[in-house]
Structure 1
Amino acid sequence: MTFTQIHKEYDWNEIKSFIHSRTADDVAAVLNKETITETDFAVLLSPAAEKFLEPMAREASSITLRRFGRTIKIYAPIYTSNECTNSCVYCGFNRHNEIPRVTLTDAEILAEAKTIADMGIQHLLLVTGESPKVVSVSDLARTCDMLRDMFSSLSIEVFPMSTGEYTALRSSGADGLTIYQETYNRETYARVHPAGRKRNFEWRLETPDRGAEAGYRTVGIGALMGLEDFRTEEFFVGIHARYLMKQYWKTHVTVSFPRIRFAAGNFTPYELIKDKNLVQSMLALRLFLHDAGLVISTREPAGMREHLLPLGVTQMSAGSKTEPGGYNKEHDGKQFKVEDDRTVAEFCAMLRSKGYDPVMKDWDKNFLVRS
């Protein structure tokens, strides 16, 4: 059964009603259990569970220490183009926004990559807007070929592709895929994606499957927090991650918790996601899925990221720029505003001061079989 079929078996409003009607007794009962079920996960996302964040945090921290130790994997994004054919109302790259449109040349990409590598980063995330005519699959393959020997790991966050296209990029050195569904509510999805290829809900929903089928060693998912009721949204993120972990056991699944940040277009979130909302989402996910990687990017401010360290996070970006060419020359063509602007060195020093080991390399490209 595909996740699209699984998704159709759930009624959004019924799940939302169940989550919002749980009691403190329901939460206490779940926290006394050794194994957390899907229903228990929904209980941990309820408003009633907000009073139990401290015991949830203690258990989440214990699980993370057992599974991952005191390590934080460090990565950075490289944006090679902000050209986009979509009209996503929340995104700075929305084709209707009047921002500088930039697509880097090969020489400019190499210059950006060298700057990132010189900061000590060995895990790179290649990001573009969704404009296949401007940056095609063959263009991405060429970029991966250029960068594969500069970094130990190369992930992509680009437009959804077929399994065959993902396989081609894997042959060029890509070993990870990040793809956010944005929202798992079909009606909301249609509203916030009024035009462009991204309107196809199911094609995007099945993208992680195609990446895993292509042999990617990591697949990252998430929902953009602020487009819907976060409690219901994170429930669907959790069951999607569980499905992927069971279906593709050779692939490591990660979950991100991106809150909407300021971007061109001045989009106002439909729901304000408070710090405690983010914390609860992360804790509930960790208690539900012990082995999932949990990712917090530079969307979050420095202080918040430090507070999240002991709560289950395993991967963080550092020194990030969200505009093409931004590592060497900043401009207004950002996807969103970065909140934690510390350098990689400053961020890693903070981690060490708190007893964490910043992992700059946990994979080697030589493990990939070139085809």
Structure 2
Amino acid sequence: MSFEQQLQQYPQQEIHELVRNATPQRIEQALHRPRLSMEDFAALLSPQLTDDQLEAMANRAHKITKQRFGRTILLYAPLYLSNECHNGCKYCGFSADNHLPRKTLSLDEVEREAKLLRDQGFRHMLLLTGEAPEAAGIDYLETAIKTMKHHCGSVSIEVFPMDTNGYKRMVDAGVDGLTLYQETYDPDLYRQLHPYGPKSDYSYRLAAPERAGEAGMRRIGVGALLGLGDCLTDVFYTGLHALYLARKFWRTQVTISFPRMRPAEGGYQPNSIVSDRQLTQFICALRLLIPDAGLILSTRESSELRDNLLPLGITQMSAGSCTAPGGYGDDDHESEQFAISDERSPAEMEALLRARGYDPVWKDWDSAFLNEAS
């Protein structure tokens, strides 16, 4: 069964009502389950969750995270290769409708950016592009990855969806991780938000993480853009998606991100506001649902909030981020995808983590671990 087929077994309206109507007693039952069912997970997402119950869930999430991950936080950096894009996404700074400077990095610039990040300590880099195959397609990505791979131990991609062969080419080039947000799991809203361009194909994007798993990707990350639609159902479906991938590709690590929507170029404002309390609740509930998942919090969030959420399940964080192509070397902010909130440098993040009793991890993976040369 594909994930889209499984998704159809959980109608959106039914899930929304299941989450909304959970009673305090039902929530209390879910809090004490050693392993959550999807119905338990829905209860823990409910607005009816009391402050005492949230505190109890946070304590359990902290305990599980400490057992599974210790006191380590993996640090990574996003590296934007291109902001050229043919999609008309209504919420994205890179949308083809927006008039901003367009740029695709040359190979020399790719290597420069990678070297600058390496000099700051990073060994995990996440490559990002828009969707413009003639400017930054699979051939370009292959060459760019080979150009910068020697500067880092792990390369992940957050780019356009590919077929299975495309993902195999990425794996062969040295990519070991994929991040791909569905944006929203509501197909009707998805169509409204993506009126034209290749990204308008909801089903093709939804199945992309499965194709990456079939191609042998070592790490697969999913998430929804919180604020695009009904956050309660989007987080429920994110958990369902992550659990599906973890069971189908049991040798692959699954990660989950929690990007809250921010204002973007073109005047976009989030359709709904996800509060700090809700975000905390979502992170803790997902930790209880999938104890071994990597949970990621980016520099979209403020420094204060990121610091406070550290003990509750987060295992990976970005630092010193720039969302414009070439921004690390040129200090370019005119062509950003979105503005960040936490502007602390990598060194400041490392110091903060150590002061809080955490071990900042710059490298936990290298292709040499596979003994490919033997």
Task: Give the shorter-chain TM-score range.
Answer: over 0.9
Q: Give TM-score, length-normalised by structure 1.
A: 0.98
Cα distance between partner residues in 1 of 2:140 and 2:169: 12
Name 1:130's counterpart in structure 2. 131
Name 2:90's counterpart in structure 1. 89
Q: Which amino acid aligns with 1:319?
A: G
Cα distance between partner residues in 2 of 1:149 and 1:111: 12
Residue 346 of structure 1: how far off its partner (Å)? 0.4
For residues 242-321 of structure 1, the aligned pairs below 5 Å read 242-321=243-322
Cα distance between partner residues in 1 of 2:264 and 2:90: 10
**Deviations 1:178-236 (Å, cap 9, x if unpaired)?**
10000000111111111110011110001101111111110000000001121111000
Alpha-carbon contact 1:351-1:358 (below 8 Å) kept: yes
Please, which runs of 5 or more residues in structure 2 have no aligned partner? Answer: none
Residue 35 of structure 1: how far off its partner (Å)? 2.0
Cα distance between partner residues in 2 of 1:282 and 1:166: 29
Q: Give TM-score, length-normalised by structure 2.
A: 0.97
**Deviations 1:233-281 (Å, cap 9, x if unpaired)?**
1000001000000000010000000001121012121110110111011
Please, which runs of 5 or more residues in structure 1 have no aligned partner? Answer: none
Q: Which amino acid aligns with 1:159?
A: F
Cα distance between partner residues in 2 of 1:70 and 1:282: 17
Q: Which amino acid aligns with 1:114?
A: K
Q: Which amino acid aligns with 1:71?
A: T
Pair 213,50 (structure 1): closer, same or farther in 2 beyond 3 Å: farther
Q: Which amino acid aligns with 2:13?
A: N
Cα distance between partner residues in 1 of 2:169 and 2:5: 27
Aligned residues: 370
Residue 331 of structure 1: how far off its partner (Å)? 2.9
For the residue of structure 1 that corresponds to 2:96, the secondary structure is coil
Cα distance between partner residues in 1 of 2:323 and 2:255: 21
Alpha-carbon contact 1:86-1:195 (below 8 Å) kept: yes
**Deviations 1:308-346 (Å, cap 9, x if unpaired)?**
100100000011100001001113110111111110000
Name 2:155's counterpart in structure 1. 154
Alpha-carbon contact 1:352-1:358 (below 8 Å) kept: yes
Residue 116 of structure 1: how far off its partner (Å)? 0.5
Cα distance between partner residues in 2 of 1:146 and 1:134: 17
Name 1:360's counterpart in structure 2. 362
1:350 aligned to which of 332, 337, 352: 352
Name 1:45's counterpart in structure 2. 45
Alpha-carbon contact 1:181-1:204 (below 8 Å) kept: yes
Cα distance between partner residues in 1 of 2:350 and 2:187: 40
Alpha-carbon contact 1:148-1:365 (below 8 Å) kept: no
Residue 15 of structure 1: how far off its partner (Å)? 0.6
Residue 50 of structure 1: how far off its partner (Å)? 4.3
For the residue of structure 2 that corresponds to 1:276, the secondary structure is helix
Name 1:35's counterpart in structure 2. 35
33-42 or 238-247: which moved more?
A: 33-42
Name 1:8's counterpart in structure 2. 8
Residue 363 of structure 1: how far off its partner (Å)? 0.6
**Deviations 1:93-147 (Å, cap 9, x if unpaired)?**
0011111111111111111111111000000001001111111101100011111
Residue 365 of structure 1: how far off its partner (Å)? 2.2
Cα distance between partner residues in 2 of 1:360 and 1:143: 22
